[in-house]
Amino acid sequence: MASRGGRPRIGQVAALAGVSATTVSHALNGRRPVSEATRRRVLDAIEELGYRPNVVARGCAPGGA
């Protein structure tokens, strides 16, 4: 399920976990509450896909870095 360049993207993690990309972000950064069951699904999807956050993209995002 890898995308262009072979790296999975947050949308793919979200689709596999059955949640939105925003929920994946919340589960990863801990700034908003996410149920433990949802967090577990997100973490399982991340492991299955081999997802790693793109640190360059994070620095470009509003409020990033």
* Domain ranges, residue 15: 10-49
2 found inside a domain: no
Mean pLDDT across the stretch 3-18?
88
| pLDDT tens sequence across 14-60 | 999 999 999 999 999 988 999 999 999 999 999 999 999 877 766 67
27 found inside a domain: yes
Count: domains in the chain: 1
55 found inside a domain: no
Report helix, strand or coil for 21.
helix
30 found inside a domain: yes
The answer for 30, left when phi > 0, alpha when psi is -120 to 50, beta otherwise, is left
Query: Would you state the pLDDT for residue 59?
Result: 67
59 found inside a domain: no
pTM of the predicted protein model: 0.78
